[in-house]
Chain A
Amino acid sequence: MKVDLSWIDYLIMLIYFIFVLGIGWFLRKFMKNANAFLEAGRAMPAWVAGLAFISTNLGALEVMGMTGSGMKYGMMTTHFYWIGAIPAMIFLALFMMPFYYGSKARSVPEFLKLRYDEKTRGLNAILFAVMTILASGISMYALAILMENVLGWDFNISLWISALIVLGYTYLGGLSSAIYNEVLQFFIIVIGLLPLAVLSLKDIGGWVGLKSKLAPIALSHGFAADTFTTTWKYSGHATSNPLGVEWFGILFGLGFVLSFGYWCTNFLIVQRAFAAESKTAARKVPLIGALPKMFIPFLIIVPGVIALALFNDPSKGFTLPLDASGKPIYDYTIIMLLKQYLPAGVLGLGITALLASFMSGMAGNVSAFNTVWTYDIYQSYIRPATGDEEGDGKHYLRVGRVATVFGILLSIASAYIASKFGNIMDFLQTIFSMINAPLFAVIFLGMFWKRTTGHAAFTGLLLGFIAALLHHGLTVPEGATTLVKGGWITVLHTYPVEMAQNFWTAIIAFGVSTVLTVSLSLLTRKLKSDKELKGLVYSLTPREIDDKSLPWYERPAGLAILVSVVAIVLTVIFW
């Protein structure tokens, strides 16, 4: 199952490395203070920030995971895009970005401080910092182990080299460098995976050929013949589709709670829009990102669906490595497809695309981590600003750079922990991913209900998180063999699949958090005056529309309509 690379493949990778580091090198002279380094000087054009917005989400785990899920669940995996991302991105752009950007907050935790109070910020900042390091360590581990198993590269060398390259360009050019490189990486990922998508579809006989090849496989699983090539058609019952979730879980769990929690509150993503040059530009960022986002399934999910057909056709000679229990390792689907179809040359491009996806995700984590550390932890609790703007700017720039180095070193450490105690890391990541749903409840209520108080928000955030933990501790997906998957208190309920458990964990966290925040807000005294909340809460902010003179496609509302129409058309075509 080893893939042999030739000199030309390595040459392409080398050129890519030179360019990403070169961009950092060129930008280093602009990094005069913390504002330039951590916020990119709020000077990014909308299209640059928009592509970076989508690229940072397109990390290695996303690419590997979505192709693997395509093979496991078929076209239903596109729910993670069309229903599980687009509505949230539109909502973020139109309704939340005016308050995020207008508040002048430099991070999501800082927004919580402005809207609520110090303790809410502190809680969120600390949880976020830990989650970011864990996530980047886990994806670094996943990449290094893939490179070791498939390309025969040494685990330690690929881990350190890829981490040091990301360190190099984020240390030199900060958020600007991360964003510029994310745009470059976005194009590499698209171009690098394009030949794979086209060749695999041609090989299987086009969409019609794929459908006919998948019909017997679906029937043998006890599903309807076209289950793997449709999205909503068999979502009436959890048992009639491979995802194991019915339409309500998909619509509310994935489409609302998980997706709004991720896209609207995850600072790693939102930070790209914060870097935009104006409020109108910031509002356009998620929408510009949404346009390519809708078509990414054709690059990474459809090849995974094709892999399912190839896997069941011995004449194609397509295999996947097996794990200890003899089950195929789905995360390897993408690289085994690259091996199957791409000759030397474009193969190097495909591998470079995987490296680029890893780096865009990791740089996103690092640049979000150093900002939260510098502004929300260091500046708030260790050394507050002195009032000397220039001196402070230089001081926090140094702190930001040191935080970048430490962030990378901690990620490397967590990658090694993941390699020794994979289960523990999976468990921690599952737990920390539970902070998003309560966070969305708290930020949403804060933006649209002026009565929401700091004490209520803090309690809602904390107890929503604890409710998610309890739900995870009391339920398991069917066939779970380790406590990592849940049921570590006792088992009260068994879900048919892990996905259903995840959806319900998020729904419960969101529900508990909303109910608590609302009821406690009514019981506690409002400590912030209406004047202090101006620009942070919908009803207290004067509506100013400054984009009337722009053509429709340059206005956030116009773009939002375009994005919605395309998403609806795609949903109907693949219903």
Chain B
Amino acid sequence: MFSRAYRAAITVPPLLWIAVFLVVPYALLFCYSFWSVSSSQVIVHSWSLDNYRELLHVHVYLQTLFRSMWIAARVTIFSLLLGYPLAYFLSFYAGDRKDLFYQLVIIPLWVSYLVRAYAWKTILGSDGVLNTLLQYVHLTKHPLEFLLYSPFAVVLTLTHIYTPFAFLPIYASLEHIPRNLVEASHDLGASPMQTFWRVIFPLSIPGVLAGATFAFVLSLGDFLAPLLLGGPSGLMISNIVVSLFGAAYDWPLGAAISLCMLLLVLALLFLSENLEKRWSFR
């Protein structure tokens, strides 16, 4: 049907893009994770599993990984707890103002991540807005130290940043629920509460899973929020990778950690995709 040149013209650029920006970097990452660094700071191209062994035996790596997962899990839960009611309200009760509210949820996504992280720094710091206010109304005498440079600050900031990502797929799945199903449920005698738990929520599960995956994966790999607001106790696994590729100059170990993270995320995506399929009926 189409000429060979035409087909080449439309298929080669994306393939080239994928090769240059995905396949090659991942292949390099894969190779690096089996190499090592000599005492004279040179990358040695000899294959071994030493990096993976180190990862399992040096306490700080696994500990940081688990902390990162715990932070990501909390961010996921809070994002869902905030995003779901918001999406539900918008989809079912916002009426004519649906579009306006939708834009209000989306607009923060246009503001630079960095600006939002710094904003929380200004709010949570010991001379920050929140502490000043608390002291002004005499709720505390001294600034609360746990607000900033803590896992709390990281969870709060990441929740703020990733709630729209949880909201969007939930909203989309709620919008896809045919309204006559809700009417049918009322018609059959189910109260609004029963209708929510028996019809609306089950049918929105694919959206919840997609939103949870977004929030978890994005916050698991985050390094800016912990860098700016986490302090030593709020350090996450990506911070370690960054320093291994930077100051510590241990690219092979950094690559091994990155690869493990990648596998973890792929497993999660695979899992959530399968669950979503089980819960979609169209």
- A and B interact: no
Q: Which residues of A contact B (CB under 8 A)?
A: none
